[in-house]
Structure 1
């Protein structure tokens, strides 16, 4: 398995800076070269947005953040790097010159990816001494959140390089799709260019304005594409007869003069000003950084929704997120030091994100249950009931939950959860959890729960193994000295004292 221990980003703009953030948040040290006088500021702002987005995206334990170090030359930046990502402006001679400098200075075994949106890798590697390790790694903005990267080899790229690249991007939580043949603009940008060309005609011909066009996309097929793409969406449109029926029914319309995408719109000054003015109005005064944060929050919400689909297995980008989180939890492992049982265990720290709140800006009811579920999962990992344990056929299932809502968690509020074991036996685990305001420590919600150890294959309860029971007992013995939490044993509707 390819392990990236150090990355280099040559170019630190919107794409290069986001690549750096993606690497760093995966625990990889990043060397950066960009001659722009404000490169450090730009990358720093991108990194801040990326950290904010990851804080909303997942509660899985990220590895210690990699360092970001700026260098004054390409040669210094690429020294010792396993993966070098070139993200300079989209001009063939410029990119080729930069890649040749990288090739001359980097280790012969280092992978070199280009973020080009459409240039052929064969053209980029034409003058390299080690062309076999050059490939296109074309991401989508924001690179730190959108997980897809198109991997395209040139005429001299080795098959081993592409395989290593696919494994490498998986390490940083991305989906590497291998494009079988090099072609200008690859796959994604070819699709986008066709849509973009038609959109420009619709604006030029005054069919609609930019906001109306965006509304048509985001309220309809945009949502379908997020989880099923184009062909699977149309398969469903064909009904029980499937894709063949859809093609037979709608194929003839391809001969109708519906679109203008084969014609090139003239982007003259008048059209540029028209689109610019409409776009300014659509933004309603929001800055680029503010729009980026809104975009990131929405993407997080979509991916989290997709993560819970397909019976909890996830769908599309949500499944990739679920798999990435599973690996993060497995790699984090359980700390060898015995937990401090002089107080309830502090198991989770988080922040209320935009996907968790209702129209009042308050955290919705099912998110409290999610937090309590994540808290109990943290306890299970602490006692050795991890993913490997569950895959081996045993687990703990929640059989009873009583939640009390004592306060309101609001958008952006920092929270932490605690858990106290109340009692246990060889099958049952009884505990009490609290969601707290991280600033004041005030309890916002509590949950009293009972879990039952089960044999998943047999579908019935079974005694937990001695190793698990020993870890439970070590925590429970300490917690037995603590006072019973306020609210233990309450029933629904019981008046407060």
Structure 2
């Protein structure tokens, strides 16, 4: 039975939550009085459905349903998780909580997306303060994994349930141990934002020059190392202590204006707006979102390949989505979506990536017969000796596909596989691969017979697949 998430407030953040939950298999119930909310969330869903599956090698869960409800009470009825993302007005939030708690299950997690209020403020006067937490995400919620989890007076049971749910949908719950205004991440962002406003106001830099300073410099380091680890490396072999000794004195220099706020005048707003329009106004918001998502997918996949930072989180979550192959003929060895970093100058999947797809399919088959990671670590494996790949149709970015695999030969050291890569939407064959492998000893790097359990499994599969083909 699917779990149910209720989304109260369907703006940019609420829509992102809806997409994240739905694509992770939850049924989503939405309340938002905005007459345009369904269209707006539909556009967010379209972006999410294209981008999020690109991060995973494993198949995504079956998408949950999305339904629209005319009242808060109707939306939260029976929900396991309730995400409040209404405008940042405390009186409105408290009013909404009364409506929610009058209708929701006592054991549901009631989480707020707020960046501006502490949980103690949200729990004030609540019917069940112990079920309310802050779960502050970052846009786009369906791609960025961080959620600042701030408990306040929430019960330990609620906190653990919240951590478990966020982890299960591929997010990273950062447990903020003590509540503070703006939590953790937004305090950094506010400091950078404040200094950026001064630099523009004082004519030191334009909005584009400031963005370039971030995206071509320290922003790339922060994406994979954060702040303190970056500075630890900057300290050289002597590490953080040397960095602190070298740069600590500059903290007393009048470099920044972090404690001084520029007057927020119409002139400043116009200056910032005009520069921002000149910088990126040629692109619509939807085009900018698509560009942002493409870049994030590529960066996150690169980190995933190195098992670093957010990439390690995605790799671990990916493993929880894997499905056993079962006993069907053919075996579906790959279910995934073409990621943006696989596309070449012609706008379709590069031929080299087909080799990776079929290699992934053979590795799944190997694991299925017992030649898994433990088997390989013990010194045995299969090496590919020959492949013949045929490209039959274009494969485009964002397209879901599967690979069906048959064992056409399995005897002694020899293993031969026939792979068919098919578009998931209509079953059209996109490419085929005839792959011949030999079993080897990783110690001698020469061919040798498989261990008995693997050989028996290979022979059994080869027989079953031959019988199915002959039948």
Q: Can you list the C-alpha shifts for 1:1-25, whole angstroms capped at 9, x where unaligned?
A: xx98111111111111111111111
Matched, 1:173 2:170: yes
Matched, 1:473 2:458: no
Deviation at 1:40, TM superposition (A): 1.3
CA contact (8 A) 1:27 1:65 kept: yes
Name 1:67's counterpart in structure 2. 65
Name 1:189's counterpart in structure 2. 186
Task: Figure out how many residues of one structure are paired with residues of the other and give that number.
Answer: 466
CA distance in 2, matches of 1:244, 1:461: 55
Name 1:295's counterpart in structure 2. 292
Measured at CA, do residues 397 and 317 of structure 1 come closer, stay the same or move farther in structure 2, by a change above 3 Å? farther
Aligned-pair Cα RMSD in Å: 3.1
Deviation at 1:407, TM superposition (A): 7.4
Q: Can you list the C-alpha shifts for 1:18-62, whole angstroms capped at 9, x where unaligned?
A: 111111111111111111112111111111111111232224111
CA distance in 2, matches of 1:84, 1:443: 42
Q: Can you list the C-alpha shifts for 1:82-141, whole angstroms capped at 9, x where unaligned?
A: 111111011111111112221222111111111001201001001112111111000010
CA distance in 2, matches of 1:94, 1:284: 34
Report the TM-score when normalising by structure 2.
Answer: 0.89
- 1:321-470 matched pairs, under 5 angstroms: 321-329=314-322, 332-335=323-326, 338-340=328-330, 347-348=333-334, 350-359=336-345, 361-364=347-350, 366-380=352-366, 383=369, 396-402=381-387, 404=389, 411-412=396-397, 414=399, 417-425=403-411, 427-433=413-419, 435=421, 441=428, 446=433, 448-450=435-437, 452=439, 462-465=450-453, 468-469=457-458
Measured at CA, do residues 350 and 27 of structure 1 come closer, stay the same or move farther in structure 2, by a change above 3 Å? closer
CA contact (8 A) 1:150 1:177 kept: yes
Matched, 1:315 2:304: no
Deviates more, 1:358-367 or 1:160-169: 358-367
Measured at CA, do residues 464 and 25 of structure 1 come closer, stay the same or move farther in structure 2, by a change above 3 Å? farther
Matched position secondary structure for 2:321: helix
Q: 2:126 aligns with which of 119, 128, 135?
A: 128
Deviation at 1:444, TM superposition (A): 5.1
Q: Can you list the C-alpha shifts for 1:226-270, whole angstroms capped at 9, x where unaligned?
A: 111111111111111111111111111111111112110122111
Q: 1:78 aligns with which of 76, 80, 83?
A: 76
CA contact (8 A) 2:343 2:397 kept: no
Matched position secondary structure for 1:138: strand
Matched position secondary structure for 1:257: coil
- 1:152-171 matched pairs, under 5 angstroms: 152-154=150-152, 156-171=153-168
Structure 2 unaligned regions, length at least 5: none
CA distance in 2, matches of 1:449, 1:27: 37
Report the TM-score when normalising by structure 1.
Answer: 0.85
- 1:173-322 matched pairs, under 5 angstroms: 173-309=170-306, 314-322=307-315
Measured at CA, do residues 404 and 462 of structure 1 come closer, stay the same or move farther in structure 2, by a change above 3 Å? closer
Q: Can you list the C-alpha shifts for 1:187-233, whole angstroms capped at 9, x where unaligned?
A: 01001110111111111112221122111111111111111111111
CA distance in 2, matches of 1:186, 1:4: 32
CA contact (8 A) 1:426 1:464 kept: no
Measured at CA, do residues 199 and 114 of structure 1 come closer, stay the same or move farther in structure 2, by a change above 3 Å? same
Name 1:490's counterpart in structure 2. none
Matched, 1:10 2:8: yes
CA distance in 2, matches of 1:369, 1:17: 37
CA contact (8 A) 1:453 1:464 kept: no
CA contact (8 A) 2:23 2:60 kept: yes
CA distance in 1, matches of 2:69, 2:419: 48
Deviates more, 1:414-423 or 1:133-142: 414-423
Measured at CA, do residues 136 and 442 of structure 1 come closer, stay the same or move farther in structure 2, by a change above 3 Å? closer
CA distance in 2, matches of 1:250, 1:405: 59
CA distance in 1, matches of 2:398, 2:15: 28
CA distance in 1, matches of 2:427, 2:72: 48
Measured at CA, do residues 92 and 451 of structure 1 come closer, stay the same or move farther in structure 2, by a change above 3 Å? farther
